[in-house]
Structure 1
Amino acid sequence: MNTRETPAPLKAGCQTFTWEMLGDAWKGTADDLLSAIAAGGYTGIEITDTMIGNYAGKPDAFAKALSRNNLTLVAYACGSDSGFTEEADLAADLRMAEQAVSFAASFPGALVSFGSATIMSDGPRSQKFELAARFYNGAAERGARAGVQVAVHPSSHHNTLLFTRADYDQMFALLDPAQVGWVPDTGHILRGGQDILDTLTTYRDRIRYLHLKDVDAAGKWQMLGAGTCDTRAVIDAVRAAPHFNGWLVLEEESDEAGRDPAAAVAKNRETLRRFGV
């Protein structure tokens, strides 16, 4: 992959987990998500395999829906009940990865983002890291054959294997730096007690795009700009990354978003405009 001489233009995308976290309380469709995200002022979307709905396996139909809403697919985000750490599920997870890559290949520039390795059963942590790395590297090999970039998205949620800086260091040492990208998430990095700018700088060559959100000092989710994240410094840091594609993807998990996801993501879009995006 070639590096750029000048930073990519910044673009605002929205992640659909803001609605997904409502669980059964959310009764809408993928079309409702597209409409809300477009109305909120975004030009890109990262949609999860859980929220893709009737468009699963139908890239042509989804492309038309995106076009109707003037949206670009930033990434297709996928997880697994295995947490990518169960050897018995590795073959099935890689088949899922191949299907995800095939879907994303219909959208120029779109990535496939795989969720955080998660501990789902007893066993040595070192073995969990090795199994997750086998999955991420294998998925990236499939992506490379299809011309689709693959990235890992660490999280701070329950039983995640990728929480502290030591966890990141251990996992990244096992991943092919030329093929497996990274989607840093400001909220999850801060919840893990990390020095966010040091982590971003250390692994800058792996950054593909950014998940931008906020937390307070106790790690509770806050609306963008209402917590401890130094948003300007983070944006400047990722813009300097050689493979950063310009997408700032806002993903809101605060109580305010739980009450009204569409209003919350629209409010975050206005906050982002204060940073010139």
Structure 2
Amino acid sequence: MLQIGCQTYTWEMLGDRWKGGPDDLLDAIAAAGYSGIEITDTMIGDYAGKPEAFGRALAARGLELAAFACASGSGYTEPARLESDLAMIDRTLDFVAAFPGAVLSLGSATVVSPGDLDGKFAAAAALYNGAGELGRKAGVPVAVHPSSHHNTLLFSRADYDRLFGLTDPALLGWVPDTGHILRGGMDILDTLSTYRDRIRYLHLKDVDAAGDWQMLGSGICDTRAVVDIVAASPNFNGWLVLEEESDIAAADPAKGVRTNRETMRQLLA
């Protein structure tokens, strides 16, 4: 069964302009008609390290935790930070494990210092494989979420092929993001089909032909075709998570995610 979740980055991208807290996010997402939420380590606020309290807050609004996303200032590409990054991930897994079925999403490997790309990919693979092993022990699926943002190591199809060739599919899943895949110039349906066994859940976003963010359904993403492929993937958990980065949503995040929820109803009709 398909379930529709909302990612909190729509608010996070406002930076200091966002003055609210996690309860405000939960209220807005529940009011917009979503069933679940993907929240980030940046937006969890006072609920950090308090899964019981966060679970009560979700339940009070009829929401589930679809996924928890975390990143590191190391970009997951610094060998000297491997031990501390894995320790952080291990602590985060303790939180996520309190929500059966939730996935730990790890941010895109990112270049944060000079160095050869072979070394960066090797460091990222070591981190992702190590995190996947920690997730296996904790009973929490772990997946990578590649992005198309500045200095990402995971932009093109060749980058995806390289990372997936270096990581264990039994340990590390994938959170495909339609917007980032399209911005990377990929054949989205072929990429999804090729790595369908890796898919744990899906991020749905839209872009125009120039790669600029658009509201869901207003760009070039063939959402229906994407959902059909992902829904048939053997390890997909049923969550379609809508994430919005367009200027329209930035002007009014609550309205933006509410509009996307209605668009999704129409796209799946």
Contact 2:76–2:124 (8 Å) recurs in 1? yes
- The alignment status of 1:93 with 2:85, answered yes or no, reads yes
Q: Measure the CA separation in 1 of the matches of 2:123 and 2:32.
A: 39
Q: Measure the CA separation in 2 of the matches of 1:231 and 1:148.
A: 28
- One-letter code aligned to 2:266: R
Q: Measure the CA separation in 2 of the matches of 1:265 and 1:48.
A: 16
TM-score, normalised to structure 1, is 0.96
The SS at the match of 2:69 is: strand
- One-letter code aligned to 1:268: N
RMSD: 0.6
The SS at the match of 1:118 is: coil
- Runs of at least 4 residues of structure 1 off by over 2 A? none
- The alignment status of 1:186 with 2:178, answered yes or no, reads yes
- The alignment status of 1:27 with 2:31, answered yes or no, reads no
Count of aligned positions: 269
Contact 2:157–2:184 (8 Å) recurs in 1? yes
- The alignment status of 1:168 with 2:156, answered yes or no, reads no
- Residue 115 of structure 1 is aligned with which of 85, 90, 107? 107
Contact 2:58–2:65 (8 Å) recurs in 1? yes
Could you give the per-residue CA deviations for residues 76-104 of structure 1, whole angstroms, max 9, x where no partner exists? 10000000001111111000110111100
- One-letter code aligned to 2:141: Q
Q: Measure the CA separation in 2 of the matches of 1:47 and 1:249.
A: 11
Structure 1 stretches lacking a partner, 5+ long = 1-8
Q: Measure the CA separation in 2 of the matches of 1:183 and 1:261.
A: 22
Aligned equivalent of 2:36: 44
Aligned equivalent of 1:10: 2
Could you give the per-residue CA deviations for residues 132-175 of structure 1, whole angstroms, max 9, x where no partner exists? 01011101101100110000000000000000000000000011
The SS at the match of 2:268 is: coil
- One-letter code aligned to 2:263: T
Q: Measure the CA separation in 2 of the matches of 1:116 and 1:24.
A: 23
Aligned equivalent of 2:55: 63
- The alignment status of 1:208 with 2:176, answered yes or no, reads no
Aligned equivalent of 1:6: none
Structure 2 stretches lacking a partner, 5+ long = none
The SS at the match of 2:189 is: helix
The SS at the match of 2:38 is: strand
Contact 2:146–2:177 (8 Å) recurs in 1? yes
Taking the TM superposition and a 5 Å limit, the aligned residue runs for 1:237-256 are: 237-256=229-248
Q: Measure the CA separation in 1 of the matches of 2:86 and 2:170.
A: 19
The SS at the match of 1:275 is: helix
Aligned equivalent of 1:84: 76
TM-score, normalised to structure 2, is 0.99
Q: Measure the CA separation in 1 of the matches of 2:132 and 2:90.
A: 9
Aligned equivalent of 2:94: 102
Residue identity over aligned pairs, in percent, reads 68
How much has 1:240 moved relative to structure 2?
Answer: 1.2
Contact 2:145–2:174 (8 Å) recurs in 1? yes
Aligned equivalent of 2:222: 230
- One-letter code aligned to 2:73: D
- The alignment status of 1:155 with 2:147, answered yes or no, reads yes
